[in-house]
Amino acid sequence: MDLVRETPNHFSLPRRISRLSELAYNLWWVWNPGAQRLFIQIDRTLWEKVYHNPVAFLRKVERPSLNAATNDRYFLELYDQVMRDFDRYMSAEDTWYSRNYPSKPNQLIAYFSFEFGLHESLPVYAGGLGVLSGDHLKEASDMGLPLVGMGFYYTQGYFSQRITEDGWQETRNLELKFDDLPVTLLNRSDGTPLMVSVTLAGRKVFARILQVQVGRVPLYLLDTDVDANNPADRMLTARLYSSDHEVRISQEMLLGIGGVRALHELGYQPTVWHMNEGHSAFLTVQRMREMVMAGMSFEEAMDRVRKTNIFTTHTPVPAGNDEFALWLIDKYLSHIWEDLKIDRERFVDLGRNMQEWGETFSMPVLALRLSGKANAVSELHGKVSRAMWHKLWPDRKVEDVPIGHITNGVHASTWMARRLQILFDRYLGADWRENIDDPDMWTMIDNIPDAELWAVRRHLKNKLVSYAIERARSQWVGGGFHPVQVVAGGVLLEPYSLTLGFARRFATYKRANLIMRDLDRFIRIVTNETRPVQVIFAGKAHPADEPGKMLIQQVYRAVKDSRSGGRLVFLEDYDMNLARLLVQGVDVWVNTPRRPNEASGTSGMKAAMNGTLNFSVLDGWWREGYNGNNGWAIGSDVDYSDADQQDAADAQSLYETLENEIIPLYYNNRSSDGIPHSWIERIKESIRTLVPQFSTRRMLKEYMSQAYLPAMDASESLLQAATNPAKTKEG
């Protein structure tokens, strides 16, 4: 098919630097600091004003600033180097995938996710699931995996958070400006938008297809805000995670069914289909539907689809999984089981989940029944998932339930501070990123002088503190803020105190208030005159999560308590930009989920690769990463049946470890030049042991060997059987 990629901007740039527009529309710049510095050097103030968005930047930059750049020899040298690096990257044929799988050149992995967190300038993500999806695409690009992404373009993004003087979360909807985003519209050769349609409750809903280029990986986003739809359907892709079940089932049909159709419209024939969480599980139904309508039996179609599907579950509690009442299945999907040539009961069986209150149609059940490979996202989560879904395989032992685990990882080039990367370039070699998952390479971390590593750590904390102070100041100047909110926003932070960070979604099981269980004791700890402690909180609660919002309010009221002397801070509107500053800038990353409810978590991994030490409950990834010397544990590797008993034990462990181990290690036994060598020794142990184990490179290699490769082999076998059935039958 002849397609035209319509970029809404035709920037008027000097010829000498005209390729800045090409760079702006490929998110390769997100994880390449040199590319970002091109825009910063042209106009740093504007770069901050447009929130690090190069498309908006090029639309607004003044011509004299561009002309000045073309007359700056140092800028042009950087520009030429960045473009050479970009061209070399985009045209590379010698990739990890091509070297390790030369016999698999014609494979394609389709990766479906409800959200993708790629950068703060493209806010079509809500939290950890989306950021993991974004990191997955970036690493796939770096490794040369043949992969395409499929998701949604949310016209209102995720909400903007404002905390009132009383600590209540207020939400403000965004309205994304398409012209300001690194997104292109795909048109047919006749100029009409490329669209797909899905039948929802008897009506056709249309979605146009947008493209975001993530290095070498294309990401396609569906958008229902088109004239062909009625006003309600135009809003289907407006926001993430609607609490309206009819909107939710419509979105998930659009992603699963419409996503398959979109890839086919684009000319793709994926050999592997990866569902990141159950939201996209209707893709299994659409794939079977196409096969049955082409003449295949339902049983054969189900077998073929299962062999080439992969499902990753992220939810360790049944209540967190998407389920729909059967009347919704009747209303929205009755025409599909007719196309599958099966009856209603057989269709419902695909996702049937028996609950105490009755039957539901479960998206994870649908995905599990129709996937050849299924995985949890940490070792402990795998154990929890096998127990949770044992009912689907009642004839097997719990440990034999076919759900494995591939522990999450993070994309180092996105999350690691530029100065730390430069330090590693100097002491680990220029190719350390290619070998980031090699534990032997990281033994060279001891070659880095303590003074140099400490200088980088101090710089990163100064950067975070300066950001918080400047942000609080600008909010106060902007009006509408009470002075106590300015204090709560970090205006009294300083860069020399031990600083703890707690930033994540405010759900009750994450226990953001655990550290305040004994508030008097906690305040005594943070206000110690000789060894003070600062704690920075950040995070959003889902707009429909009233207990989560009340948790924010409880934390915020403690932050405002004058007894803390401004050493407790809440930074509102948590996003990827603030997350980078926090994981890089705090000294200790705190995580307090109630075991075993944390499927994996990735923020602590990002902190670890920046030399920030973890202090966490032994849940999710930290249960695998903690070795006794690379951070600290809260509580023990034990599950409690009584939540209050667990909270009391974990709080006691938190206080004692903080008072007796963490604070003394940070402040005591410093050398004459003020360097805490024992603290840095623990930082090096953390980097040495955690970075190789929790990188997306290790993660993608495991997905390749454990999931993608078996599905590719199965796809090839099915193709051979279809093209030469007699020989296959004889064999």
- CATH number of the domain bearing residue 687: 3.40.50.2000
**Amino acid making up residue 395:** D
Q: Are residues 280 and 298 in the same domain?
A: yes
Q: Are residues 178 and 228 in the same domain?
A: yes
Residues in the chain: 731
Pairing of strands 404-405, 352-355: unpaired
Q: CB pairs under 8 A, 24+ apart, for 225-232?
A: 225/155, 226/193, 226/195, 228/195, 229/205, 230/203
Question: pLDDT band for position 10 (50/70/90)?
Answer: low
Q: Are residues 397 and 432 in the same domain?
A: no
| Higher pLDDT, residue 681 or 669 | 681
The three-point CA angle 647-652-657 to 5° equals 125
The predicted model scores a pTM of: 0.96
Instruction: Name the H helices within 593-657.
Output: 603-608, 620-625, 643-657
Q: Are residues 80 and 180 in the same domain?
A: no
The three-point CA angle 228-233-238 to 5° equals 115
Q: What is the mean pLDDT of residues 611-626?
A: 97
Q: Which two tokens stand for residue 389?
A: 């879904």
Q: Are residues 476 and 535 in the same domain?
A: yes
Q: Is residue 731 part of a domain?
A: no
Q: CA-CA-CA-CA torsion for 665, 668, 671, 676, nearest 10 degrees?
A: 20
Q: What is the mean pLDDT of residues 644-656?
A: 95
**Amino acid making up residue 247:** V
Q: For residue 561, count other CB atoms closer than 10 A to its CB.
A: 14
Which runs of E-coded beta strand occur in 63-168? Answer: 109-113, 147-152, 160-163
Domain containing 492 equals: 415-694
DSSP classification of residue 488: H
Q: Is 194 helix (H, G, I), strand (E, B) or coil?
A: coil
**Amino acid making up residue 138:** K
330, with CB counted inside 10 A (0-12, 13-18, 19+), is middle
For the chain, the average pLDDT equals: 94
CA distance linking residue 182 with residue 210, whole number of Å = 10
Q: Which residue is it, tokens 């101090």?
A: 458
Q: Please give the tally of structural domains in the chain.
A: 3
Residue 726 has pLDDT above 60, yes or no: no
Q: CA of 320: how far to CAs of 526, 684, 695, in Å? A: 35, 37, 26
Domain boundary among 61, 91, 121: 91
Q: Which two tokens stand for residue 590?
A: 């705190």
The three-point CA angle 438-441-442 to 5° equals 95
Question: pLDDT band for position 458 (50/70/90)?
Answer: very high
Q: Are residues 374 and 505 in the same domain?
A: no
Q: Is residue 377 part of a domain?
A: yes
Q: Are residues 126 and 185 in the same domain?
A: yes
CA-nearest of 638, 598, 640, 645 to 622 is 598
Q: Are residues 158 and 120 in the same domain?
A: yes
CA distance linking residue 508 with residue 594, whole number of Å = 9
Least trusted range by pLDDT, from 60-69, 153-162, 214-223, 277-286: 153-162
Q: Are residues 40 and 187 in the same domain?
A: no
DSSP classification of residue 244: -
Residue 186 has pLDDT above 50, yes or no: yes
Residue 517 CA, distance from chain mean position? 30
